[in-house]
C-alpha cells in the first residue's frame, strides 16, 4: 500500500525545466511589448572606461588602459624583438596569466574608431525594443586607433594588477618600491601617476522583460560590433511532462511579439 502511494506521488510530481528559444527582433516587437504591457524586471549595462594622463602619454606610446565592471585591462604594443622571441607563443598566456594577442590591434578587438587626442564624435546607439523615444545614446570614440595602420603589430593584454602597475610605472617613469606593489591598488597608483578617466564607452546592454504565460524575453545589444542586431532570447519555465503543450504556448508568445526564429 505504501509503495503504491509513493508511485502515485512520483507520477503526479511536476518537473520544471527552463527552455530557451533563440530569436531575432521583429520590426514591431517594441510596439508589441508595450501593447502586452511587458515590464522591465532587470537592466544591465556594461560600460568601459578609458584612462590616460592629461597629455595622453600612454596613448603616445601605444598603451591603453581601460576598466569595466571592476576588471582592469592594459593593452600595449610589443617591440619587434619581442615579436620574434614570442613567435611560438601566439594566443597563449604568460606566467602572470596575461594574454598574448596575435596581431589584432585594439581597434579590431573593440570594433570602434577614434583617436585618444582627437575630437570626440557622438554617433547614435541602438535603442531598447520598448523605447519609442527619439533620444539617442551617446558613444565616444575608441582611443585605440593610433596603431590602426601599422604593419601587423602584436599586442600584449595585461589583466593582473601587479603587471599593470609595473608596466604603467615603466611607461611613465614613475618610481615604485617593488616590495609595495603587491599591496598597492591600481586606483592608488593612478592617483600617484596622475592618470585619470577621460572617456567611457557602453559595451553592451541587456534588458529582461516579464511576459504573460510565465515567459521572459532577454534582449542584449553588443555595441562593440558595428551595426550588430540585438539578440533576443525567449525563456520559459516549462513542465517537462507536458512539454509539447508548453512549447506551443511559447511559440504563440513568439508569434504575438513578432519574433523571428534565429537560423
Please say whether the structural domain 15-38+211-261 has been given the CATH code 3.30.10.
no
Q: Are 221 and 25 in contact (CB under 8 A)?
A: no
Tell me the whole-structure pTM to 2 decimals: 0.61
Provide the sign of the torsion angle of the four alpha carbons 155, 157, 163, 165, taken in this order: positive
pLDDT band at 91 (very low <50, low <70, confident <90, very high): very low
- Looking at per-residue confidence, does 13 or 177 come out higher? 177
52: left (phi over 0), alpha (psi -120 to 50) or beta: beta
For residue 210, what pLDDT is reported? 94
Record the cell numbers describing residue 65, joined without a space: 588602459
Q: Which of these ranges, 15-29, 63-77, 139-153, 174-188, has the smallest mean pLDDT?
A: 139-153
Find the distance separating the first CA and the last CA of the chain, reported in whole Å.
52
Mean pLDDT over the full length of the chain:
77
Q: What is the mean pLDDT of residues 174-195?
A: 89
H or E stretch covering 68: strand 63-68
pLDDT at 181 over 90: no
Spell out the domain ranges in the chain.
Answer: 15-38+211-261, 48-201
- 134, pLDDT greater than 80: no
Amino acid at each position: 500500500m505504501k509503495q503504491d502511494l509513493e508511485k502515485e506521488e512520483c507520477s503526479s510530481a511536476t518537473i520544471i525545466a527552463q527552455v530557451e528559444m533563440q530569436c531575432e527582433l521583429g520590426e514591431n516587437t517594441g510596439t508589441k511589448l508595450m501593447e502586452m504591457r511587458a515590464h522591465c524586471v532587470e537592466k544591465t549595462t556594461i560600460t568601459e572606461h578609458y584612462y590616460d594622463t592629461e597629455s595622453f602619454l600612454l596613448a603616445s606610446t601605444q598603451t591603453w588602459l581601460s576598466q569595466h565592471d571592476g576588471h582592469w585591462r592594459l593593452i600595449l604594443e610589443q617591440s619587434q624583438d619581442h615579436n620574434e622571441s614570442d613567435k611560438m607563443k601566439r594566443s597563449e598566456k604568460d606566467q602572470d596569466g596575461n594574454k598574448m594577442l596575435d596581431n589584432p590591434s585594439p581597434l579590431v578587438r573593440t570594433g570602434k574608431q577614434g583617436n585618444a587626442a582627437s575630437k570626440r564624435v557622438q554617433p547614435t546607439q541602438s535603442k531598447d525594443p520598448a523605447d519609442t523615444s527619439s533620444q539617442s545614446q551617446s558613444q565616444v570614440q575608441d582611443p585605440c586607433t593610433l596603431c590602426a595602420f601599422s604593419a601587423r603589430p602584436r599586442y600584449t593584454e595585461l589583466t593582473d594588477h601587479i603587471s599593470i602597475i609595473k608596466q604603467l610605472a615603466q611607461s611613465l617613469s614613475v618610481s615604485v618600491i617593488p616590495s609595495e606593489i603587491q599591496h598597492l591598488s591600481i586606483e592608488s597608483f593612478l592617483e600617484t601617476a596622475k592618470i585619470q578617466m577621460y572617456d567611457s564607452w557602453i559595451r553592451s546592454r541587456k534588458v529582461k522583460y516579464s511576459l504573460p504565460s510565465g515567459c521572459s524575453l532577454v534582449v542584449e545589444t553588443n555595441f562593440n560590433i558595428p551595426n550588430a542586431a540585438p539578440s533576443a532570447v525567449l525563456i520559459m519555465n516549462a513542465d517537462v511532462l507536458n512539454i509539447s503543450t508548453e512549447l506551443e504556448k511559447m511559440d504563440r508568445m513568439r508569434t504575438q511579439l513578432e519574433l523571428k526564429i534565429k537560423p
